[in-house]
Amino acid sequence: MLAKMNQTRAMHWLGRQLLNRSNPASYFDPLTEAINPMWIQAYTPARVERILVETHDTKTFVLRPASRWSGFHAGQHVNICVDIDGVRRQRTFSLSSSPQLWQNDGVVTLTIKRLPGGLVTNWLHDQLEEGAVLGLTEAFGDFLMPAMPKPVLFIAGGSGITPILSLLETMAAEHFRAPVTLLYFVRTQEDVIASEKLEALAARYSALSVRIICTHETDEPRYLNDADLDSVPGLKAREVYLCGPGGLMDLANDLLYQRGLGEEQIHCTLFAPPVSSPLGDETLGGEVSFARADLNVDSSGDATLLEIAEAAGLKPQYGCRMGICHQCSCRKTSGTVINRLTGKASGPGEESVQLCISVPRGPVTLEA
- Assign domain 152-268 to its CATH architecture: 3-Layer(aba) Sandwich (3.40)
| Architecture field, domain 285-366 | Roll (3.10)
pLDDT at 222: 94
Its pTM stands at 0.75
Spans of the chain below 50 pLDDT: 1-2, 4, 13-14, 16-22, 26-28, 31, 34, 274-276
How far apart, in whole angstroms, are the C-alpha atoms of residue 361 and residue 283?
7
Q: What is the model's pLDDT at position 118?
A: 87
pLDDT score, position 156: 97
**Whether 354 contacts 328, CB under 8 Å:** yes
Q: What pLDDT does residue 74 have?
A: 97
What is the pLDDT at residue 300?
83
pLDDT of residue 29: 52
Q: Would you list the domain boundaries of the chain?
A: 1-41, 43-141, 152-268, 285-366
pLDDT tens digits, 111-120: 999 988 888 9
| C-alpha dihedral (84, 87, 92, 98), degrees to nearest 10 | 60
- What CA–CA distances, in Å, run from 344 to 170, 177, 227, 305, 336? 35, 38, 33, 15, 10
CATH class of the domain whose range is 43-141 = mainly beta
